[in-house]
Amino acid sequence: MSVLEQQYRLARRSGPSHGSARAPLFPTVMWVGISDKPFLAPLAPETPTGSVISRIERTLRGLSFHRTNLVRRAPLDAHGRLRYPTREEMARGADALVLELQHVQPRIVVTLGAAVSKTVVEDVAQSGRFTGLGGSFRYSPRRGNNFLVLPVHHPSFILIYRRRKLRQYIRAICAWLGEIATCSFQGAPG
């Protein structure tokens, strides 16, 4: 039995997530990124990126979530510092992601950053050429095989280069995901 199957059996025994009696067993939204913390869960809440994702998740009702990395191990340079993954490393990650998508069966895959978005849109979802994210937060989904892909800016990019626009970023993602579920901004700091 795979780790994912074990997690879902445990989830079934412990009840629905987010306190909703109608929360689905399988996640509605899958976040796909590249995490630089090899000893933490993918996109862990204690990281800056995971913290932003957690803020978004707290504002949404009626959705369940799953977090994963495109590249399974953080790529490090000769000095042990994080580096961007190569195209080959991302292609190998895409193969593993296809299997994970079959197990998780999300309705929406939110890709974090241009590199991950390009790989998922072009190689996994095979929904045409990815041309970038642009400067605004007007995100538009792409049709995948059995899911939608929503490419968004990486939360770390927002935190470093556009911090004053963090609330606008969160609202843009919630507005789009709000088509699926009720989005509440009460208590969302920022």
Q: How do the domains of the chain map onto residue ranges?
A: 25-177
Tokens 């079934």 found at: 12
Tokens 């109608």 found at: 22
Determine the topology of domain 25-177 in CATH. Uracil-DNA Glycosylase, subunit E (3.40.470)
The pLDDT tens digits along the chain (190 residues) read 544 444 444 444 433 343 334 445 556 899 999 876 777 889 999 999 999 999 999 988 778 999 999 988 777 888 888 788 888 888 888 999 999 999 999 989 999 999 999 999 998 988 888 888 888 898 888 888 888 999 999 999 999 999 999 999 999 999 888 776 544 334 333 4
pTM here is 0.79
Handedness of CA 144, 167, 43, 137 (dihedral sign): positive
Spell out the alpha helix ranges (H) of 36-184. Answer: 48-59, 87-104, 114-119, 155-161, 166-177
